[in-house]
Structures are given as structure tokens and as C-alpha cells.
Amino acid sequence: MAAPPALPDEHGVTAIARACGLTPRAAAPLADGVSTVAWRVETGGEALVVSVERPASLAGPRRVRAAFEARASLLERLHPRDPRVPRAIVTHADVDPRADPLGGRLPWAVTSFVDGRPLGAGDPPARPDPRERAARELGTLLRALHALPASGWGMLADERGAPRGVAGEPAKGLLVRWPGLWPFDGRPLIAHPIAPAAPHLVGALAALREPLLRWGDPTLARAICHGDLTPTHVLSSPDGALAGLIDFGDAMVAAPAWDLAGFAWHHGWPLLSTLLEGYEPRRLRREILLAEAQQLSIALALRYYDRDAASGRGGERAVRFIEETLPLAIRRDA
């Protein structure tokens, strides 16, 4: 039986760069993610990122494929509109298999490197919030992303061409991205782990079931969403400007408000209001988007609580977030 493929070391990563016609000078580990490992590679001209998919033997029980072809197609369309996202350079599929340093054993991709620090890193509590400029500029970038044509629903099919979600319905697409996302998974709320842990929330959460299920309507407007707007993926410059948006590994086709809800989960409601100033010039439309994000963020918070409960971590943050947001979500839907 053949041994499972191993992740490349520095020598293997620089070999990938050379196979792409580049001249690598040095390589260093950059990130170790769920689906990929990434290296920063210095060349004579610019810094690059070489990403390699984790082999099945080194992946977790819920293996996530890297979908490098889908990422490349998305970046090829988005980078000309906003150069603060990485530039797609080459994937393993663009190289003659005989010249592939990994021998076709693992998919890989090369993109440009985007420099910056995670949004909020090192920022002291202050007013005005030092993150506001980057958040507002992220709003303009997300507007460009959400304007790209797309079809289907859910995670992107790993193919070149116009981005396409793998699912035929919004609810199924959401469950591909977030397995067990209530109420789209059909599970009664009483079976959710938050029910015994925070019974004071059950009544109000149950009242949101039907409003949330409306987001499974296939006539909804769809967009390509980033899908994971954590601080480490939103980069800022020393002067407070947006330096870049990276890691489109969780990009998906969904209602655009899912990105807004995810940003609020990671960065808070005041900063989402600032982002919306860059996203939408019309005040009334911003209010509608905020209301949609407040509603969808409840489903996301329940998903994060579910994940943390399954792994043995506490879900206090999710409970606090729901307690803060639930009155807003219910009032908006009334």
C-alpha cells in the first residue's frame, strides 16, 4: 500500500515556485489552516503565498477541500475591481503534471502576498474607534465582491469559470457551509445544546424560527460572500486604512447579509454600522441591511455555540451575543 502524501517542506515549497517560472529566495511557514497550509515565499520581485491542501491523513474528521480552482476564478474576477485582495497567479492545474514537484499528489496554488495586521490587533480602546477607517473601506470591497455574478448556493464548486455554488437551494447551501445550522437543519430548538444551558433564551429564539426559515427562499437575491470575516482575514495598515482581505477558502453563494452578520459576530455591531457606510450610500437601505444582519447573526451564534459545546469549550460568548442581539432581531421582525 502506498504511503499517504506528506506536506512539502521548505525545499518542496520553493520547488513549486520554481515550477511556476518564479525565482524563490526564501520560504517560511505562514499559516496552518483547516484545509491548507500556507508558506510565504520571497522572490526577486514580490512576496508570494504558496498554499497546499492538507492530505486526508492530516485532516480532521470533517475534511474541507481547498477548492483552489474556485478561489483562483473568484480572485481573477475580484482583484481587477479591488487590488486589496490577493492576485491569483497559478494553481497545480495550470502546470504540466510532469513538472509538478508534488507529482499531482496534493493540490496547490500560488497567489500574491497581502501585507497588513489583523483588524484591531494592538488597537487600544479609544474613541473614535481606530478600526473605523478600515471597516468603512471593507464595506466598499464587500460591495464589489457581492456584485460579482454567481449561480447556485453554498460553497463554490471547485472549477474555473463563473463562480457557482454546489447546492440548488439556499438552505442546503447553508448546511454545506455550516452543518447543523438551526433552524435549517430541521432540528427542534429543544434538541439544540443551548436549550438546557440557557433556558431563558428558548422562548425568544423559538419566535425567530419562522423568520429565519424565510432565508431558505430560492427567490432571494444571492451574492458571493467571503464567509469568514475574522480579524485575521481583514488586514489594516499602520495608518488605519484597509490593507487587504485574504483567505477566500470559505467563499460561498448566499444572501449578502450573511457576510454582514458574520462581521458583526467577529467585530461587533458599532463597527458593522461603520462598514455599512462604505457598503451602501442610502441610509434606509443600510437600516434594512442592519436588520437582516441582526436576524441572521442569531443563527450564526447558535452555530458557534453548537460547535463549542461539541468540542467541550464554553459557549459564554455566544450566549452574551444572543442576549444582546435577540431583542433587536425580534423587534425588527415585529
What type of residue sits at position 299? A
The x, y and z cell numbers of residue 183, run together, are 433552524
**What CATH number does residue 283 fall under?**
3.90.1200.10
- Could you write out the DSSP letters of every residue in 45-95? S-EEEEEEEPPGGGS-SS-----HHHHHHHHHHHTTT-TTSPPEEEEGGGS
Is residue 125 scored above 90 in pLDDT?
no
- Among 76, 96, 112, the domain boundary falls at 112
Same domain, 108 and 122: no
Same domain, 106 and 184: no
Provide the residue range defining the domain that includes 31: 10-112
Q: Residues 99-115: what's their mean pLDDT?
A: 94
Same domain, 130 and 185: yes
Least confident of 6-10, 25-29, 131-135, 256-260: 6-10
Whole-angstrom distance, CA of residue 223 vs CA of residue 279: 14
pTM of the predicted structure, to 2 decimals: 0.94
pLDDT tens digits for range 56-77: 755 555 556 789 999 999 999 9
Least confident of 44-48, 186-190, 211-215, 294-298: 44-48
Number of structural domains (the chain) is 2
Using alpha carbons, list the distances in angstroms from residue 258 to 12, 191, 240, 304: 38, 24, 25, 14
The x, y and z cell numbers of residue 86, run together, are 490577493
Is residue 14 scored above 90 in pLDDT?
yes
**What CATH number does residue 38 fall under?**
3.30.200.20
- Among 84, 112, 140, the domain boundary falls at 112
**For residue 331, what pLDDT band results from cuts at 50, 70 and 90?**
low
Least confident of 88-97, 208-217, 241-250, 306-315: 306-315
Same domain, 64 and 124: no
- Among 112, 141, 161, the domain boundary falls at 112
Q: Is residue 1 part of a domain?
A: no
pLDDT tens digits for range 174-198: 999 999 999 999 999 999 999 999 9
Instruction: For the beta carbon of residue 254, count every other beta carbon within 10 angstroms.
Output: 26
Same domain, 140 and 240: yes
Least confident of 6-20, 119-133, 240-254, 272-286: 119-133
